[in-house]
């Protein structure tokens, strides 16, 4: 009972801490996961000694499994198919050579430096070729990241687990004892046929049932947001039930929904993403109690050499592979050098441990060392790259009437097309000024231009949800990007003037 109480308390602490430090980490430019690792250390045996997780902990296994299911499903269901078509060559580059060749190089380093079995080396290489979506979040949320770089990093961190997971699952088949071994052909069928088919079926049935229910009876928004969890977990269970890969089933269920191009409310994406992030942050705390620090106990020349290869291999591969992509030098540099390893790597490396494969535990410490170095190195790199949000926005009145223009986000990396009506936040107090607009809540394009003509200070704000923002490559010229759930903090950080008109568009 005491252990159960400690875990419940830990879950509560993670949720509360995530909410409290969400804005703090942005201002301090410290990776959120770093603070959660420190929180885990403070609660673990090296600190207060309140809780500890081992590699064989059932609670850790449950959290890791749920987190991986939700990550695979929500990343797939959030995939922008139209964007994928536009950036197909770039996506294939980061998911193909960027992931697979990196896995081969890292696996070969593990084979030669640690004397691993080839299958063990393949698992280690695949795990450390995976980039982490949680650590990537801080950079991708920043409005100044170019569109092509943002898309490449999002696709890589979101989809490369589906590319690398089969390598881990197939390699595990070679490590089972003879009496528990499954023929290779059967393993391939389970991973690439049975699991995906189960996921496609669940995804199709789930989205069809949701559409019919919404048309005929309607569906409450709060229940539609929870629907994502039911679909993800059902797909995983269906995949396991047919002796396929539940993880591949969860991924293909999300892909089925994305391909069917069903109109989903933002709550569907956002609730699933928030839930998966909470699971992942909880897992970071669990690893931080003691497990991840085991990477520091193996530091020597060989392990540091391996870590260097693991951290630099991806950059070396992409430095060559992206030469044939039409990218600006700044875009290429962001894609090449920002590929953090994090929880995705730890979750993949634990799959053979959870499967009970003898000796699989020895793969964890090298992986943990690379993740720790990546948290520090890539965290510092992210902090150095992101421009200060404290730069005031220039709203100097102009003599002429500037048009409310639409431009590609590569020119103005802040938002998307302006709708016919936008929300206004009228802070000026003079009645003559406020008379320029007919409503205190909505303004038209003509009224925005009238404010400019009257030399009023105006700031155009892109307040769309993350889903809508990522789905478009268009923006209102000069718009300032503020995320809906952090708009006040970001407005204060960027020193938006309090006496200006804030014209917000969100569609």
Secondary structure of 230-278 in the HEC alphabet? HHHHHHHHHHHHCCCCHHHHHHHHHHHHHHHCCCCCHHHHHHHHHHHHH
Is residue 396 domain-resident?
Answer: no
Compute the radius of gyration of the chain from its Cα atoms. Answer: 24
For the segment 351-371, the average pLDDT, to the nearest whole number, is 91
Inform me whether the pLDDT recorded for 129 exceeds 50. Answer: yes
pLDDT tops 80 at residue 286 = yes
Residue 398 lies in a domain: no
d(CA 58, CA 221): 34
For residue 161, which of 68, 282, 98, 87 has the smallest C-alpha distance?
A: 68
401 falls within a domain = no
> Do 229 and 293 fall into the same domain?
yes
Is residue 471 assigned to a domain? Answer: yes
- In this structure, of 69-78, 342-351, 369-378, the range with the lowest mean pLDDT score is 69-78
Domain boundary among 385, 419, 439: 385
Q: 412 and 378 share a domain? A: no
- pLDDT value at position 177? 65
> Which of the four pLDDT bands, split at 50, 70 and 90, describes residue 352?
very high
Q: Which of 46-60, 142-156, 310-324, 349-363 has the highest mean predicted lDDT (pLDDT)?
A: 310-324
Identify which has the larger pLDDT, 308 or 354. 308
Summary mean pLDDT of the chain: 79
Residue 180 has pLDDT above 80, yes or no: no
Taking residues 332-344, report their average pLDDT. 89
Do 215 and 329 share a domain, yes or no? yes
The answer on 330 and 293 residing in a single domain is: yes
Which segment, 84-98, 364-378, 479-493, is predicted with the most confidence on average?
364-378
Q: Is 392 within a domain?
A: no
**End of a domain among 385, 420, 439?**
385
Residues 172, 279 within the same domain: yes
Strands lying side by side in the sheet with 458-462: 442-444, 421-426, 501-505, 458-462, 480-481
**Would you place residue 103 in the very low, low, confident or very high pLDDT band (cuts 50, 70, 90)?**
very high
Entry field: residues in the chain: 507
| pLDDT value, residue 159 | 86
Q: How many structural domains are present in the chain?
A: 2
* 458 within 8 A of 504, measured Cβ to Cβ: no
| 55 in Cβ contact with 291 (< 8 Å) | yes
Same domain, 153 and 188: yes
Residue 94, both tokens: 């980061």
**Residue 399 is assigned to a structural domain of this protein:** no
pLDDT of residue 480: 82
* Residue 115 shares a structural domain with residue 155: yes
CA–CA separation, 136 vs 121, rounded Å? Answer: 26
Confidence of residue 387 (pLDDT cuts 50, 70, 90): low
- Most confident of the ranges 164-168, 261-265, 430-434, 454-458: 164-168
Tell me: do 330 and 468 sit in the same domain. no
User: Domain range for residue 492?
Assistant: 406-505
Stretch 104-118: mean pLDDT: 96
Residue 411 and residue 331 in one domain = no
Of 54-58, 263-267, 327-331, the one with minimum mean pLDDT is 263-267
Q: Is the pLDDT of residue 471 over 90?
A: no
Q: Is 216 contained in some domain?
A: yes
410 pLDDT higher than 50: no
Tell me the pLDDT band of 440, cut-offs 50, 70 and 90.
Answer: low
On whether both 381 and 410 belong to a single domain, the answer is no
411 and 373 co-located in one domain: no
Answer whether residue 409 shows pLDDT above 80: no
pLDDT at 413 over 50: no
Q: What is the pLDDT of residues 288-317, one digit of tens each?
A: 888 999 999 999 999 999 999 999 999 999
Highest mean pLDDT among 235-239, 472-476, 479-483, 492-496: 235-239
- Mean of pLDDT values over 394-414: 44
The reply to whether 446 and 299 lie within a common domain is no
Given this model, what pLDDT does residue 494 score? 72
Tell me the pLDDT tens digit for each residue of 228-273: 888 999 999 999 999 889 999 999 999 998 888 776 666 666 666 7
Q: What is the CATH number of the domain that holds 243?
A: 1.20.1530.20
pLDDT of residue 152: 87
Domain boundary pick from 385, 419, 443 = 385
Q: Residue 395 domain-assigned?
A: no
Q: Packing angle between helix 32-43 and helix 364-385, nearest 10 degrees?
A: 130
């Amino acid at each position: 009972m005491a252990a159960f109480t400690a875990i419940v308390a830990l879950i509560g602490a993670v949720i509360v801490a995530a909410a409290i430090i969400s804005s703090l980490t942005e201002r301090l430019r410290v990776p959120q996961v770093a603070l959660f690792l420190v929180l885990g250390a403070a609660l673990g045996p090296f600190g207060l000694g309140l809780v500890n997780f081992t590699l064989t902990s059932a609670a850790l296994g449950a959290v890791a499994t749920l987190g991986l299911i939700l990550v695979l499903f929500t990343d797939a269901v959030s995939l922008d198919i139209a964007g994928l078509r536009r950036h197909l060559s770039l996506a294939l580059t980061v998911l193909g050579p960027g992931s697979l060749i990196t896995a081969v190089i890292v696996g070969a380093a593990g084979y030669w430096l640690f004397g691993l079995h080839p299958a063990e080396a393949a698992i280690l290489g695949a795990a450390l070729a995976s980039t982490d979506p949680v650590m990537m979040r801080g950079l991708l949320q920043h409005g100044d990241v170019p569109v092509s770089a943002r898309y490449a990093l999002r696709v890589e961190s979101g989809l490369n687990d589906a590319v690398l997971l089969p390598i881990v699952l197939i390699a595990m088949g070679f490590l089972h004892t003879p009496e528990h071994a499954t023929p290779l052909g059967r393993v391939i069928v389970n991973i690439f046929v049975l699991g995906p088919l189960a996921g496609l079926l669940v995804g199709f049935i789930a989205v069809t049932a949701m559409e019919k229910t919404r048309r005929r009876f309607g569906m409450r928004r709060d229940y539609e947001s929870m629907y994502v969890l039911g679909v993800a977990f059902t797909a995983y269970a269906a995949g396991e039930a047919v002796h396929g890969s539940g993880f591949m089933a969860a991924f293909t269920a999300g892909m089925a929904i994305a391909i069917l191009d069903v109109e989903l409310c933002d709550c569907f994406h956002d609730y699933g993403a928030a839930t998966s992030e909470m699971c992942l942050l909880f897992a970071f705390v669990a690893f931080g109690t003691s497990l991840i620090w085991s990477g520091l106990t193996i530091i020597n020349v060989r392990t540091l050499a391996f870590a260097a290869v693991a951290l630099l291999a991806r950059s070396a591969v992409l430095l060559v592979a992206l030469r044939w992509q039409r990218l600006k030098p700044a875009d290429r540099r962001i894609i090449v050098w920002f590929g953090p390893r994090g929880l995705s790597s730890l979750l993949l490396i634990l799959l053979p441990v959870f499967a009970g494969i003898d000796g699989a535990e020895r793969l964890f410490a090298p992986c943990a060392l690379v993740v720790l170095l990546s948290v520090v190195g890539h965290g510092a790199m992210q902090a150095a790259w992101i421009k200060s949000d404290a730069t005031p926005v220039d709203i100097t009145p102009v003599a002429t009437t500037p048009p409310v223009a639409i431009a590609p986000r590569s020119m103005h990396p802040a938002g998307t097309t302006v709708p016919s009506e936008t929300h206004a936040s009228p802070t000026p107090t003079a009645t003559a000024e406020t008379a320029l607009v007919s409503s205190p809540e909505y303004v038209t394009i003509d009224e925005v231009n009238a404010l400019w003509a009257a030399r009023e200070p105006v700031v155009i704000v892109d307040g769309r949800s993350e889903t809508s923002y990522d789905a478009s490559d268009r923006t209102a010229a000069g718009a300032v990007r503020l995320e809906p759930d952090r708009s006040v903090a970001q407005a204060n950080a960027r020193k938006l003037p309090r006496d200006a008109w804030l014209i917000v568009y969100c569609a």
